[in-house]
Structure 1
Amino acid sequence: MNIRLIEGQGVALDPVQDDRDRVARNAALAALADIPAPDPLDTVGYKSAGHTLVVGTRADALPWAERLAAALPVTVLLLDDDGSDKALRLYPVFAARALVVTGWLGAFDATWQTGGSKPEHARFDLVLDLGAAPQIATHQRPHGYYAPGLDPAARQAAVAELAGMVGDFEKPKYFAYKERLCAHGRNRRSGCNACVEICSAGAISGAGDLIAVNPYLCAGCGACTTVCPTGALGYAYPGAAHTGMRIKAALNAYTQAGGREPVLLVHGLEGAALLDAVDVPGRVLPLGVHHTASTGIDIWLAALAWGAAGITVLMTDAEAPQYAAALDEQMTIAQTIMTGLGYAGAHVQLLRATGPDELARALQNAPRGEVPARRAGFNVAADKRNTLDYALEHLLREAPQQVEEIALPAGSPFGTLAVDAGKCSLCMACVGACPASALQDGQNAPQLRFIEKNCVQCGLCADTCPEDAIRLVPRLSFRDTRKQPVVLNETQPFHCIRCNKPFGTLRMVESMLARLAGHPAFAGHLDRMRMCGDCRVIDMMTPAGEQTIHQAQELRRQR
């Protein structure tokens, strides 16, 4: 078991208070039971006629295919066959090399090589993969794909389940995607890739400047929404607002019933089975969720603002390892914020438990962090960044230690930018790349302005900058200026040498002159680079003689 507990110390259990806490916990659980389940906003549908592909060696695949063939139409691909088997069977059998399987329930595509040079292809509704290594290697397998391994009991269970996988099926569409908030990329530059990297189902991929989420592969773990810094990906079933309502109701009921130092224990289905075998301390409030990776720093900080003494997330070996790494990073950020505000003790705990005895000992060390003197009253918002603002404002207002800023670890979703004014030409490429409107131009003035509250530290601005003049500075600022545009760089405007209209900056014009001096369009006409766009076109369309007369007139006028 891997236990992560920041500054946590075991505290001797007070039996009297523990009894009170258990009564209060019953009140909290009753409050949770009164909250109705959310209705799915959208669903994803599957259709299966039962056409099943069985993959494996002759010794593994054929006996199980015989059993399945009594209930389903079966096709067998043998991975160790030379094609010499001519036995008559009620289902087709092929020797297969270089097999590739992709897809999901009702839409699995298989491509393989036989004796010929042309590859074979077929579509199936279901797959029973009995090979030594799964053809689909993602941690979270697609619906309709069974890879039970070598255990005969697991194989028997898979075959029994396959027999019932005929008909129409549906599941919730677990996510909502707001393209305008996505920081994945801009102008063919890569920015945030957190959701693509963490998805254990292979359901998310880059699609130019945006991402594409395959709803048929999505397993609803919610990890992508947890690591998304902007809220572009949101958990939709249940939504964050519904989860927040459950947590707030449970904490309110627990406190009103006389409970103390409540700890929110977030767990999934596997964790629930483990908890059934453990005598959980009275102050620990179990909160069942579809998946433990679906809650993150916004929900945790809100719970702490509502009076939770800590957050414990219980994970088992069933979850993908990258989920634990992501939650650990989020917990580091959350604890850094709480410590920076002066709240004593540990507030977050990540448990990876394999047995009830280990879990029981770990829960005795559940966090007992200092909480705000007054509990917050806000509700979780639909927008992730708004929820973070509500929670942080309350935690600051009640903080034992008033601070102007807190330094955060790299990868945090808050921060500022350091701009090297000596390098920056105010080309404004960073403004066009910023997905959060944190960077803005000066409108009618040559200025680069920045609103820190909007910055998600995606790095697109730094990656886009042609002068390498921008550096990310992760931090959490509580200054009033964080909500207002501040000038990061400015200069005097450059005026067109023909009409005197401001159209750029001196540094930008000098940079253009240096880069385009050898360009054929400006050979012998470098002064055009010192003209605004309108005057440049006029100059290009003016005959050479008239240009000479105009230049002489300009010289006389300047004298």
Structure 2
Amino acid sequence: MKEFAYFGKPALPLGDEIECEAKYENYYLIANKPAPNTQIHAREIDYYLESSDEDALEISKNVSILYEARALAFDGSKFEKYSKTVGKRVLFIGTNPDMSLKASLEKLDFKVICLDEIKFIYGCAGELCAIIEQGLEQAEVECDFAVFFGGCESWATRQSGCFDASAISAKEILEFLSSHTPNYTYQNYIFCQNDACLYHHKRGDVCSKCVELCPTVAILKNEDEKELVFSPIDCIACGRCVSICPSGAIDNAVITRTSFEALGRLFKSRIPIIAKDGFLPKVRFKNSVLPLVLPSDGILDFNNILSLVLGCGGEIFIFLPNMPKASKEAIALANEIFKARFGCELVRVFDDEISLQEAISKARYKNIGEFELGIYPNKASAISAKLALIAGSLDLGEFSTYESTAHGKISVDESKCTLCASCAGACPTSALITDSANNALCFNESLCIGCGYCVISCAESQTISLKKGKMHINTEFFAPKELAKDELFACVECGKEFATKKAVEKIASILTPAFSGDEKKLRTLYCCAECKAKLMILSQSDEGVLDV
């Protein structure tokens, strides 16, 4: 059984890996049409076949690439499908409800209740609860879905199962409700790696940008536990959380960052048009241009853009009219760097089909070279490695960064630093590390995401400073630099080196007043742990505390 299926008879020969005139009762991974036993409906297959002006051989090659692109994304995906049983209780909220929609729903056995207004609504599809006023008291009305007429407050549609009738047609509401009852199916579009999250169990509120940007209640904060709470049923797959996450803890579940690197290589020598699945532009394809569909408008962060351009080895086109601000800022920074290195911008963004079609007609693949992408432990190291590939041994100059492109530069007041290494232990990207061989604190600027957790974690006041807004890309940008250094202190009893001189002196300066007049206790401040214990025991023996 083949993984790739084409339902129907293609107008031209397709690759041998594709089963043509496939049977709907068989099981396939990817197909050009939806089918009960097919995992992925790749609608871009028929879309490309109907819209391409390439010759037959080139079309056949490109169709194989489109199938393979879906397979690559699936292999690295982290999405899961869910289903829950929901009822048919619908609230119509507003003074002028659509009575024809009410009648249509009731024909399908929905129970519709009309209310002029509510105070609030919470929950999710199948488990909604509306708060209403009854005289001087409040009451709760449970329902499975709610439709607001005549406009509504922003909170009204943040949860799943709620619709603003001014933003969606009655036909679409009817189709959605009838197709999502009694089984409401959904999936996760994002996932989070807690060990990389800058909110999860962290001291202080270092970052919660994803919560601030989420247009629904799909991501909330549990402030007592310092944990993020995710609700897949409420996620609308906008991708804003992915594009803004500085550490890369949040990633898209359908196409992960690792998958972007593989997809870039797959489109080598071609120009992909990045578009949202289901919202493909009406254009004619030629000049080695072909579509690459994404599940969301907002998952293009700085790292993913670099992956696509370096993998393709040339230009990419983007047709995502609803891209969030963070993605636009990432593209702007990437293009400045590409222009400094290659003499031209390599990411072209289009908001309308006319300008996109004109660009396709004039498209010529720009080969910027071969770049070997590897496997990286986190988003910061991936960006660092890709920028190093771009820069090589060149000094590309200084670039202004944005909050969404997450970069910072650390400096340390060496006179105050005791090299306790709390900052290095707190750093989520290993931009700060300790060099035990040289008793030094080192900083790799290319790995810094400007989170400021090192500043919060530092035990010494005003010792670490963080600056954001600029990056200068040259060879020094990628090389660890010493920020502070100290010599090791030798135990005054046994001579063993056990801590840095500054750390010992710092502790001694704090405790000396408390030990004033007690020579043995004062001496313990300059001893290793073993000798400290020995001196304390001897001191207690001399005082008669111990019977020896």
TM-score by length of 1: 0.70
- Whether contact under 8 Å (1:148, 1:155) holds in the other structure is yes
Task: Please point out which of 416, 431, 436 is paired with 2:429.
Answer: 436
- Whether contact under 8 Å (2:209, 2:245) holds in the other structure is yes
Instruction: Say which structure, 1 or 2, has more relative contact order (CA 8 Å, 6+ apart).
Output: 1
Tell me the amino acid that sits aligned with residue 50 of structure 1: G
Is 2:469 the counterpart of 1:461? no
Gaps of 5+ in 1: 1-18, 81-95, 255-261, 550-559
Task: Please point out which of 413, 416, 419 is paired with 1:420.
Answer: 413
CA 209–425 in structure 1, closer or farther in 2 if over 3 Å, else same: farther
- In the aligned structure 1, how far is the partner of 2:276 from the partner of 2:90? 31
Q: Deviations over 1:348-367 (max 9, x none)?
A: 233334xx44554676798x
- Whether contact under 8 Å (2:268, 2:312) holds in the other structure is yes
Tell me the amino acid that sits aligned with residue 101 of structure 1: I
Equivalent position of 1:114 in the other structure: 134
- In the aligned structure 2, how far is the partner of 1:514 from the partner of 1:113? 65
Is 2:337 the counterpart of 1:330? no
Aligned 1:537-556 pairs, distance under 5 A: 546=542
- In the aligned structure 2, how far is the partner of 1:382 from the partner of 1:500? 40
Tell me the amino acid that sits aligned with residue 433 of structure 1: A
- In the aligned structure 2, how far is the partner of 1:428 from the partner of 1:165? 54
Structure 1 residue 101: Cα displacement: 1.6
Tell me the amino acid that sits aligned with residue 402 of structure 1: L
Equivalent position of 1:43 in the other structure: 80
Question: Tell me, what secondary structure is at the counterpart of 1:352?
Answer: coil
- In the aligned structure 2, how far is the partner of 1:508 from the partner of 1:131? 67
- Whether contact under 8 Å (2:261, 2:373) holds in the other structure is no
- Whether contact under 8 Å (1:48, 1:125) holds in the other structure is no
Tell me the amino acid that sits aligned with residue 32 of structure 1: I
| Larger deviation, residues 343-352 vs 405-414 | 405-414
- Whether contact under 8 Å (2:424, 2:434) holds in the other structure is yes
Tell me the amino acid that sits aligned with residue 330 of structure 2: Q
- In the aligned structure 1, how far is the partner of 2:167 from the partner of 2:235? 27
CA 100–158 in structure 1, closer or farther in 2 if over 3 Å, else same: same
CA 70–542 in structure 1, closer or farther in 2 if over 3 Å, else same: farther
Question: Tell me, what secondary structure is at the counterpart of 1:328?
Answer: helix
Equivalent position of 1:348 in the other structure: 347
- Whether contact under 8 Å (2:122, 2:130) holds in the other structure is yes
How many residues are paired up? 481
- In the aligned structure 1, how far is the partner of 2:111 from the partner of 2:126? 14
- Whether contact under 8 Å (1:46, 1:105) holds in the other structure is no
Structure 1 residue 219: Cα displacement: 2.8
Structure 1 residue 371: Cα displacement: 4.0
- In the aligned structure 1, how far is the partner of 2:266 from the partner of 2:535? 71
CA 45–304 in structure 1, closer or farther in 2 if over 3 Å, else same: closer
- Whether contact under 8 Å (2:287, 2:360) holds in the other structure is no
- In the aligned structure 1, how far is the partner of 2:197 from the partner of 2:126? 31
* Alignment root-mean-square deviation, CA: 4.4
TM-score by length of 2: 0.71
- Whether contact under 8 Å (1:414, 1:476) holds in the other structure is no
Structure 1 residue 395: Cα displacement: 3.0
Structure 1 residue 56: Cα displacement: 1.8
CA 542–148 in structure 1, closer or farther in 2 if over 3 Å, else same: farther
Equivalent position of 1:214 in the other structure: 231
- In the aligned structure 1, how far is the partner of 2:373 from the partner of 2:539? 70
- In the aligned structure 2, how far is the partner of 1:528 from the partner of 1:116? 74
Aligned 1:278-427 pairs, distance under 5 A: 278-279=283-284, 282=287, 284-316=289-321, 319=322, 323-340=323-340, 342-353=341-352, 356-357=353-354, 359-360=356-357, 371-372=367-368, 374-376=369-371, 378=373, 384-385=379-380, 387-388=382-383, 391-397=386-392, 402-403=394-395, 407-411=399-403, 412-413=405-406, 416-427=409-420
Structure 1 residue 312: Cα displacement: 2.7
Question: Tell me, what secondary structure is at the counterpart of 1:231?
Answer: coil
Structure 1 residue 217: Cα displacement: 1.9
Aligned 1:48-197 pairs, distance under 5 A: 48-60=85-97, 64-65=101-102, 67-74=104-111, 76=113, 78-79=115-116, 96=118, 99-117=119-137, 119-134=138-153, 136=155, 142-149=159-166, 154-184=169-199, 187-197=202-212
- Whether contact under 8 Å (1:405, 1:479) holds in the other structure is no
Equivalent position of 2:65 in the other structure: 32
Question: Tell me, what secondary structure is at the counterpart of 1:292?
Answer: coil
- Whether contact under 8 Å (1:195, 1:223) holds in the other structure is yes
Is 2:244 the counterpart of 1:227? yes
Q: Deviations over 1:176-223 (max 9, x none)?
A: 322222233664223343433333334223445553332222233333
- In the aligned structure 2, how far is the partner of 1:391 from the partner of 1:150? 42
- In the aligned structure 1, how far is the partner of 2:544 from the partner of 2:365? 79
CA 25–111 in structure 1, closer or farther in 2 if over 3 Å, else same: farther
- In the aligned structure 2, how far is the partner of 1:132 from the partner of 1:546? 84
- In the aligned structure 1, how far is the partner of 2:485 from the partner of 2:332? 36
- Whether contact under 8 Å (1:110, 1:122) holds in the other structure is yes
Tell me the amino acid that sits aligned with residue 91 of structure 2: V
CA 116–268 in structure 1, closer or farther in 2 if over 3 Å, else same: same
- Whether contact under 8 Å (1:31, 1:249) holds in the other structure is no
